[in-house]
Amino acid sequence: MLPQEFLSQKFKEYYSNHEVVSVENVHEREFGIGEFGKKISQRHLAFRNEKEFNSFLKNFSPFFVSYSLAFYQFPERKPMTAKNLLKADIVYEFDSDDIKTECKKEHDFWKCDNCKTNGTGNIKNCTNCGMGVKVEQWVCEECLNAVKKQVFQLLNFLEK
């Protein structure tokens, strides 16, 4: 059995046996779904209530589900201006992999598929052949502390 088939079966089993608690005002949110290897394959989905949302999950068993931070009068409409924005949540995201910390030189790992050279650190191009590399990123305590510092800077800014 291919990994995609195995995962698809497991997602179908999960959605068939569990009710997914949805988000506040599900009927005012735009949803997107994704499949194996493609995070967003369909957008502009809308559900009248949690029961309809769960029925969709049981029938289609998507690998990814996301919803808008915005609330719309007509979340299923296209283009975006036809949705009629009502309000929106605000979210701040802090990714440790976007913060340049010294520890990345030690715990991140790269590999060149072209010439099979590899090494530690976070680089874009192979040091041997110059081709693009794949980077595996890890998170350590120093990375998390850098993110915490960013969060506290934002809180300080918002409070003042």
DSSP per-residue string spanning 29-63: --EEEEETTEEEEEEEE--SSHHHHHHHHHHH--S
- Give me the residue label for tokens 């030189």: 105
**Is residue 95 within 8 Å of residue 143, measured between CB atoms?**
no
SS (H, E, C) 78-131: CCHHHHCEEEECCCCCCCHHHCCCCCHHHHCEEECCCCCCEEECCCCECCCCCC
State yes or no: cis peptide before 75, omega within 30 of 0: no
- Mind listing the pLDDT tens digit for each residue in 44-59? 999 999 999 999 999 9
Cα–Cα distance, 77 to 89 (Å, whole number): 20
Q: Is 26 helix (H, G, I), strand (E, B) or coil?
A: helix
Least confident of 35-39, 66-70, 78-82, 84-88: 35-39
Q: Is 153 helix (H, G, I), strand (E, B) or coil?
A: helix
Cα–Cα distance, 151 to 137 (Å, whole number): 21
Cα–Cα distance, 88 to 103 (Å, whole number): 37
Q: What per-residue confidence (pLDDT) applies to 40?
A: 87
- For the whole model, what pTM was predicted? 0.65
- Mind listing the pLDDT tens digit for each residue in 73-120? 999 999 999 999 999 998 898 888 888 899 999 999 999 999 999 999
